[in-house]
Amino acid sequence: MAVSCGIVGLPNVGKSTIFSAFSAAQAEVGNFPFCTIEPNMAVVEVPDKRLELIHGFIETDRVLPAVVQVVDIAGLVKGASEGEGMGNQFLGNIKECSAIMHVVRCFEGQKVIREEAVDPVGDIEVIELELALADLVTVRRACERCAKKARVDKEASNLLSVYQKAEALLEQGRQLRSSDWTKEERKILKPLCPLTLKPVLYVANVSDEDLDGSSTHAKAVAQHAMANGSEWIPICGDIELELRRMDEEEKEMFMKEFGVEELGLGRLTKSVYALLGLQTYFTAGEIEIRAWTIHEGDTAPVAAGVIHTDFQQKFIRAQVYSVGDLTEYGSEAAVKAAGKLRTEGKEYVMRDGDIAHFLI
């Protein structure tokens, strides 16, 4: 399944630095507003130590990790919902993303131009207000389209009721994700691609002296995220970019010196997976070992359909074991001999870390 995240934030908060640190693509990084005009896009491999663990027991031609598409979008400014700055172009790019990574400046200093004092929560509120205003325009148009039909058509009346609920929230400047929506209501809103309904991960771009996010600025982001039922992580974009440019030996020494236990990309993708309710299963054989991304709660046929759509329709059964089983017994044959290779049917709910063979 395709997973995409849009990196958003005010101009000059470190979006392009973080994008370059997480991908092989190098975005232009500049100390001036709107350094990024066209969105930078990259397919980023999801770090997963279990792939090499599997490879240690199963010989294969290639190892393929799961991937996430990351989009570095032009900085948003006050008035973007009315076309200021990159305006509508920016907002259109967000509509195509599964989730939002909201980068917030949490470092002091003159390295990056900023006339105002560093104010993470104030920055967040600027962007979230613009997103709410943009959604309000979309929802009001939807209300206008349904209004006449709703008088005589029950389906249109149901649509209008949901649109009006969204309109009332947005008029208060609230994000749609702040309210509880039924599955049916979300289905009605989905075609509108509301920006404020997308899950958000707040990324506090901290200094190299605040890697754990213990500063006042970072804590402000954490408190805002908690109050809004969202997740956050502290990341130092400058250090991550430096690490990206180093060879493995240099990287290991640098990480020890700064006390970095895990690269930001690993922490980021774990957070995004948790945010979107995603998990990973694997296929493993002589040709390839591969990680596949599915939703928590997906059944075996749905998981097979991620490989190819025909696999879901033609699914018969699956043979399943876990990475833990492989580690314990040392080979797939030994797993089978120990009775740990299970045959599962259409109702089987996949677990994170399953290794599966599908019969279609």
What CATH number is given to the structural domain containing 208? 3.40.50.300
Lowest mean pLDDT among 143-147, 284-288, 301-305, 332-336: 143-147
Would 253 be classed as within a structural domain?
Answer: yes
Would 289 be classed as within a structural domain?
Answer: no
Question: Model confidence at 30, in pLDDT bands (50, 70, 90)?
Answer: very low
Judge if 228 and 270 occupy the same domain.
Answer: yes
Give 215 or 82, the one with higher predicted confidence: 215
Q: What is the pLDDT of residues 142-189, one digit of tens each?
A: 999 998 888 888 888 999 999 999 999 999 989 999 999 999 999 999
Per DSSP, the three-state class of 256 is: helix
Token pair for residue 213?
């996010």
Domain end point (choices 242, 274, 306): 274
Judge if 232 and 341 occupy the same domain.
Answer: no
Q: Quote the pLDDT of residue 293.
A: 96
Would 165 be classed as within a structural domain?
Answer: yes
Judge if 250 and 315 occupy the same domain.
Answer: no
Judge if 302 and 224 occupy the same domain.
Answer: no
Domain end point (choices 274, 305, 333): 274
Judge if 100 and 139 occupy the same domain.
Answer: yes
Question: Model confidence at 263, in pLDDT bands (50, 70, 90)?
Answer: confident
Judge if 35 and 183 occupy the same domain.
Answer: yes
Per DSSP, the three-state class of 194 is: coil
Would 66 be classed as within a structural domain?
Answer: yes
Token pair for residue 283?
């296929």
- Other Cβ atoms within 10 Å of 139 Cβ, number: 24
Domain end point (choices 240, 274, 308): 274
Does 76 have pLDDT greater than 70? no
Judge if 228 and 168 occupy the same domain.
Answer: yes
What is this structure's pTM? 0.84
Q: Quote the pLDDT of residue 77.
A: 56
Judge if 268 and 321 occupy the same domain.
Answer: no
Question: Model confidence at 29, in pLDDT bands (50, 70, 90)?
Answer: very low
Q: Edge-to-edge, what's the strand order for the sheet holding 231-235? A: 40-45, 67-72, 4-8, 99-105, 200-205, 231-235
Would 292 be classed as within a structural domain?
Answer: no
Q: What is the total count of domains within the chain?
A: 2
Q: Quote the pLDDT of residue 33.
A: 44
Interaxial angle between packed helices 154-171 and 120-150, expressed in degrees from 0 to 180 and rounded to the nearest 10: 150
Question: Model confidence at 92, in pLDDT bands (50, 70, 90)?
Answer: confident
Judge if 309 and 256 occupy the same domain.
Answer: no
Judge if 317 and 269 occupy the same domain.
Answer: no
Alpha carbons 180 and 177: distance in angstroms, whole number: 7
Would 283 be classed as within a structural domain?
Answer: no
Would 42 be classed as within a structural domain?
Answer: yes
Judge if 263 and 310 occupy the same domain.
Answer: no
Its domain, for residue 320, covers 297-359
CB 358 within 8 A of CB 315: yes
Smallest CA-to-CA distance from 99 within 184, 202, 18 is with 202
Judge if 82 and 161 occupy the same domain.
Answer: yes
Q: Quote the pLDDT of residue 136.
A: 94
What is the residue whose two structure tokens read 């309710």? 277
Would 285 be classed as within a structural domain?
Answer: no
Q: What is the pLDDT of residues 101-115, one digit of tens each?
A: 999 999 987 665 556
CATH number at residue 320: 3.10.20.30
Does 87 have pLDDT greater than 60? no
